[in-house]
Amino acid sequence: MKKIIVPLVVLLIVALSCVDESSHLTVPFAPVSFIVDLNGPDYLLKSPLSFLAFTEKERRRDADRFGFAGLLVVSDATGNAIFAYDLCCPHEDSRGVKVIPGNEGKAVCPSCGSVFVIMFGLADNNGMRGFGSVDSGPATEPLQSYRVVPLQSGRYRIEN
């Protein structure tokens, strides 16, 4: 009996150590680097459940990068945290199909009808990251979220 248990335990340890702990990408990879300034042009994000969308048209610096289909930056229900997502619907995987945010803390894909909850997330030592979970529809993966790192009072860097 002992001869069987030891190999099984070793096999289990090896299998669990091979788990990928990196964040799961739900859309094709594209670089993200953007500064949000709540004391400047992005002051609307100070309000609970507010949102702003950023694409190449909103470029402020040469180094700005907006992910695969653009950035969706939202304020949580308290107005004390912000989360960032790719505008691409993970079910469609197309730059041309962008989710449409609403004031109730959700975003809807105009093509497949999937609804994503965008007002919740988690903060840790590395910044904030939204959940973007599926509320309804054919999508099975959440919106691609990006890390939001506090810089100084009211300024945040969004990155992947």
Domain topology for 26-159 = Rieske Iron-sulfur Protein (2.102.10)
Chain segment 58-71, per-residue pLDDT in tens: 999 999 999 999 99
Look at residue 147 and tell me whether its pLDDT is greater than 80: yes
The CA–CA distances, whole Å, from 84 to 2, 94, 152 equal 51, 18, 18
**pLDDT at residue number 89:** 97
pLDDT at 104 over 50: yes
- For residue 42, pLDDT beyond 80: yes
pTM over 0.85: no
Measured CA to CA, the distance from residue 57 to residue 97 in angstroms comes to 17
Better-scored residue on pLDDT, 119 or 125: 119
Please give the average per-residue pLDDT across 79-88, as a whole number.
95
E strands in the chain: 32-37, 51-54, 65-66, 71-75, 82-86, 100-101, 106-108, 115-117, 121-124, 127-130, 134-136, 145-152, 155-159
Whether residue 15 is predicted with pLDDT greater than 90 in this model: the reply is no
Quick check: 10 pLDDT over 60? no
Domain ranges, ordered by start, for the chain:
26-159
